[in-house]
Amino acid sequence: MDDQAHAARTMWNLLHEWWTMLPRERRSPAAADRAIRQARKDIDWLGVLPAQAAQAVLKAYLQAWNSCWAGRAGEPKFKARFRTVMSVDIPQGRDLHIIRVHRRWGLVNIPKIGRVRFHWTKDLPVGKRAGKENRITGARLVNDALGWHIAFRVQTLERGQEHHARPEVGIDVGINVPLALSDGTTYGHDKWLTEREMTELLRLEQRAAHRRRFQKHREKTSKRLRATYDRIQALRARAKRRHLDWQHQTTTDIAKKYGTVVVEALQITSMVRSARGTVDQPGKNVVQKTGLNRAINGEAWGRTVEMLDYKTARNGGTLAKVPASGTSQRCSACGFTTSGSRESQAVFVCKNPNCGWSGNADHNASRNVLHLYRMGLALIPAAGRAVARRARRVKPTTAR
């Protein structure tokens, strides 16, 4: 599997060099397909990669360019060996021949490798449960710091969910309180690594820094240093898995309980911008801002919103976004807004002499988020704005 993953990465790089070298008028999927077939004949070790997996590389590369031309992503780039996730795509499900041995293990056929045992973690449509409307269409092999994993692509036919009469809720995301809901509910978590694991991670990072001091410029990384890096990556991968598990459980619970979920339209990229500044105008509190940026990135707010988006739709609900400005400074009781109302990270005290309401700052912000939605200030998605602009450009016609 390692050989196939390296061959797939090399195939991508060769295809990228070939595509960017040719003039535009000579670029076409058919020409790229012929180039891939010729490369598998000329370079022996590229033949380790199955032909259909090589076609999947071509398909992914063309999709990357389509996303670039549509403005959804940047241009495809060269895949470096140590910065790229090793993966192999199996585009056809009929080649897998999945068999469930017992409740914990199953067997799958991987092209040019054979039968491989895998840990059965979720029900799959195999045997009598498989059909035209519920079947496995392919798989993807992915290698991370914890080993090789297989993810199956399943095609199912789901009935459209009707909108259920469930309550509305506003959500405020934070660091100390990851998710605060407008009805007073909070969702928190502990540290993703235990104290023992954190101590081990710190010790390994110090060991790697010490060994890196003796490495000369452009010298190949030693086996000991690479083994240390592997152990560090394994601990970080374990923390990421725990984070993903918490996000999935939390977002599933919210999507089942509430019909309309309202979140802030945060510009996370701007929020985590460095405060270092320039030589002429150096930044202030750079260390504190760096720690805040690291904490924001660690919470992965964008991934939480993406999960809420498709899970609310799956459960017959909707996800709405409202402007984020002023939600933490407005009093949810009287509507008075001032910058000095938030006395601390957790306490909000209204400065209006006729109000004086005080409470949890995160719950206050989440109630303001829900208030903006009820006032009709929900933001229109980018696709909806494009449709609205096209509709305004069309001149109305009158019947005679």
**What is the secondary structure of 266-293 as a DSSP string?**
--HHHHT----B-SSSB-SSHHHHHHHH
pLDDT recorded at residue 160: 64
Residue 50 burial (CB < 10 Å; 0-12/13-18/19+)? buried
pLDDT recorded at residue 274: 79
Alpha helices for 140-222 (secondary structure H): 195-212
pLDDT recorded at residue 324: 84
Q: In degrees to the nearest 10, what's the CA dihedral of 294, 300, 301, 306? A: 160
pLDDT recorded at residue 221: 84
Handedness of CA 72, 78, 81, 87 (dihedral sign): positive
Cα–Cα distance, 400 to 397 (Å, whole number): 10
Digit-by-digit pLDDT tens for the chain (400 residues) are 999 999 999 999 999 999 999 888 888 999 999 999 998 888 888 889 999 999 999 999 999 999 999 888 889 999 988 778 899 999 988 889 999 888 899 999 999 999 999 999 888 888 777 877 788 999 999 998 888 999 999 988 876 666 667 888 999 888 888 898 988 889 999 999 999 999 999 999 999 999 888 888 888 888 899 999 999 999 999 999 999 999 999 999 999 999 889 998 888 888 778 777 766 777 777 788 888 888 888 888 889 999 999 899 888 888 999 988 888 888 888 888 877 776 666 788 887 788 877 888 888 888 888 888 888 887 755 444 433 344 344 443 333 3
pLDDT recorded at residue 272: 79
- How would you label 209-233 residue by residue, b for 16+ Cβ within 10 Å and e otherwise? eebeeeeeeeeeeeeebeebbebbe
Q: With contact defined as beta carbons under 8 Å apart, do 125 and 135 qualify?
A: yes
Q: Of all helices (H) and strands (E), which one includes residue 241?
A: helix 223-257
Distance in angstroms between the alpha carbons of the first and the last residue of the chain: 71
Cα–Cα distance, 116 to 286 (Å, whole number): 50
Whole-prediction pTM: 0.79
Handedness of CA 319, 347, 301, 315 (dihedral sign): negative
Cα–Cα distance, 275 to 289 (Å, whole number): 6
Token pair 């704005």 in the structure block, residue: 385
